[in-house]
Structure 1
Amino acid sequence: MSAIEHALQDQIALLYAEHHGWLRGWLRKKLGDAGDAADLAHDTYLRILSTGRVPQADESRRHLTQVAKGLVIDLWRRREIENSYLEAIARLPEAQAPSEEMRAIVIETLIEIDAILHRLAPRARAALLMCRLDGMSYREIAAQLQVSVSSVEKYIAAGLLACWQASQDFSASGV
């Protein structure tokens, strides 16, 4: 282990020792669940470790809060996706219901799609969804978003490119 890696670990250990209890308490109030709070507190420190960006002492709580808020949003978004999917398949006849393994695969795929869509600019995401899910024409989308048709073309192209790139990343991973 290099001296830099050792110093980073020491900084994170100090950050953890000084703020972990506070962060878990803050998350417990936010989430209403001690288990989720513990998990997200752990994930917050892992995120900081993976980025290698340890905040200055006077910025520690603000930085921890910022990272943790992002993880809370991710948790809520994931649960919303899971619940929506589970509600949809609950209406299926038992013979058509997917296996537990297929459910897990579909939920993970939906979460990945959601992440791809949320990396797009809001108008690009809206245009792509209006086109692909609602079947709206480019002119209809332009009127809805109050932009030009050429802007809609650019938005949808950006959205499709992001989806294509994600599919290439998925294919390259060998999954």
Structure 2
Amino acid sequence: MPLSSVQNPHSELVGSLYRDHRSWLLAWLRRNVACPQRAEDLSQDTFVRLLGRPQLQAPREPRAFLAAIAKGLLFDYFRRAALEQAYLNELMLIPEAEQPSPEEQQLILEDLKAIDRLLGKLSSKSRAAFLYSRLDGLTHADIAERLGVSVPRVRQYLAQGIRQCYIALYGEPT
């Protein structure tokens, strides 16, 4: 669907940015992503993200502005790809008879991605504490030492991480 047909208060500005800078953005993304289709998707996602903003003003440096949005999308893409690859690597360690079905694997990946998105909302220390605990099996004291915080603070960080996982899997608590 052409951007000009989207009903949005920013559609004219986004349409102008799209016409003037889409080719440049796509070339920039292709230099950073091996898959041309993924670059195309990220380019489109950049403009969709603009349409979703509650407020938008014409940027003084449109290319830098678009590149900043695209960098965030690239970061998310690479993080999700690393997460998926880590899951697939772990899956290969499971005996074939015990492996989940392809449908179950897809559901697990979707849950992991939802958890990853919500963990991304945590502070860097809170996220690190949660991952140190759940993935590396570190004790609260070891985590506190690594992060330079107290053990009670680590407990707070872990509670925040657990809450975000709960929300990812079951929605907001009632």
TM-score by length of 2: 0.82
Q: Out of 19-28 and 87-96, give the one that drifted further.
A: 87-96
Which residue in the other structure is 2:128 paired with?
Answer: 126
Letter aligned with residue 142 of structure 2: E
> Out of 23, 26, 29, which is 1:24 matched to?
26
Alignment identity in percent? 36
User: How far is 1:135 from its partner?
Assistant: 4.0
Letter aligned with residue 72 of structure 1: L
TM-score by length of 1: 0.82
Which residue in the other structure is 2:70 paired with?
Answer: 68
The question of whether the paired residues in 1 share the 8 Å contact of 2:30 and 2:36 is answered with yes
User: How far is 1:55 from its partner?
Assistant: 4.3
> Out of 5, 12, 15, which is 1:13 matched to?
15
User: How far is 1:91 from its partner?
Assistant: 3.1
Which residue in the other structure is 1:35 paired with?
Answer: 37
CA distances 1:98-123 after superposition (whole Å, capped 9, x unpaired): 22211111111111112222221122
The question of whether the paired residues in 1 share the 8 Å contact of 2:111 and 2:169 is answered with no
Q: Out of 44-53 and 149-158, give the one that drifted further.
A: 149-158
Identify, as 1 or 2, the structure richer in helix: 1
User: How far is 1:37 from its partner?
Assistant: 1.1
Which residue in the other structure is 1:139 paired with?
Answer: 141
Q: CA RMSD in A?
A: 2.4
Q: Out of 33-42 and 119-128, give the one that drifted further.
A: 119-128
User: How far is 1:29 from its partner?
Assistant: 0.8
Q: Out of 123-132 and 36-45, give the one that drifted further.
A: 123-132
Equivalent pairs, count: 168
The question of whether the paired residues in 1 share the 8 Å contact of 2:22 and 2:43 is answered with yes
Which residue in the other structure is 1:50 paired with?
Answer: 52
Equivalent-residue separation in structure 2 for 1:168 and 1:15 (angstroms): 39
> Out of 85, 89, 92, which is 1:90 matched to?
92
Q: Tell me, what secondary structure is at the counterpart of 1:51?
A: coil
The question of whether the paired residues in 1 share the 8 Å contact of 2:115 and 2:169 is answered with no
Letter aligned with residue 122 of structure 2: L
Letter aligned with residue 155 of structure 1: Y
Does 1:107 find its partner at 2:109? yes
User: How far is 1:168 from its partner?
Assistant: 4.3
Residue 138 to residue 95, structure 1, CA distance change in 2 (3 Å): closer
Q: Out of 18-27 and 104-113, give the one that drifted further.
A: 104-113
Equivalent-residue separation in structure 1 for 2:166 and 2:122 (angstroms): 13
**Structure 1 residue ranges without an equivalent (≥5):** none
Equivalent-residue separation in structure 1 for 2:53 and 2:104 (angstroms): 33
**Structure 2 residue ranges without an equivalent (≥5):** 1-6
